[in-house]
Amino acid sequence: MNAVDATFLRAATPDDAEGIAMVRIDSWRKTYHDIMPDEYLDNMEVEDSMHLWHRVLSATSSKTSVFVAELDGDVVGFAAGKMLDEPKFGLDAELAAIYLIPDLQRAGIGSRLVTMVAQAQQAQGASGLLTWVISENKIARAFFEKRQAELLIEQAYQWDGIDLLEVGYGWRDLSLFTPH
């Protein structure tokens, strides 16, 4: 059995906060190495991110959904979604995060995680899903475009004082994620 076949997807729990933080930071450092300042990436702390994710995963909000990909007991990827307080671009939910360790990218796990988030948000009443990508992240952009996401906007924004361009993608029909 290969690693992809052995990967187990499930709803995240507060116990997954550290694994999620580690995957997120590792992914940022590898993906954004030439996009964001090295100093910023080097100073990312697992503990800070872990506390944030522990709060998110401990909340009892039905507006949020977080799923993890687990391999041999370790979190190797995750995706998070949430209902938006106010629709943006006519979309009422957001895919807020999707990260996998690089060795498991392009194996279908990310697609499965996005589908789980889309279905969970649809069960909460969502009809559309928005996601944001740093414009220079060509791999993520190709991932969303391959999955029929519509390019909605490219705009300037700041992340922790760093000037960047972001691209908004969206799915207006979540039935794309429903098994047929």
Q: In the chain, how many domains are there?
A: 1
- The mean of the pLDDT values for the chain is 90
Global pTM reads 0.91
**Residue 2 predicted with pLDDT over 80:** no
Give strand pairing partners of 150: 170
Burial 59-88 (b: 16+ CB within 10 A, else e): eeeeebbbbbbbbeeebbbbbbbbbbeeeb
> Token pair for residue 14?
């507060």
pLDDT of residue 130: 97
Find the CATH number of the domain harbouring 106.
3.40.630.30
Please give the residue that has the higher pLDDT: either 159 or 15: 15
Rounded CA gap, 77 and 176, in Å? 22
Average pLDDT over residues 91-117: 90
**Residue 3 predicted with pLDDT over 60:** no
Could you list the residue range(s) of the whole structural domain that residue 36 is in? 3-177
- SS3 assignment, position 21: helix
Average pLDDT over residues 151-176: 93
**Residue 134 predicted with pLDDT over 80:** yes
Rounded CA gap, 6 and 15, in Å? 21
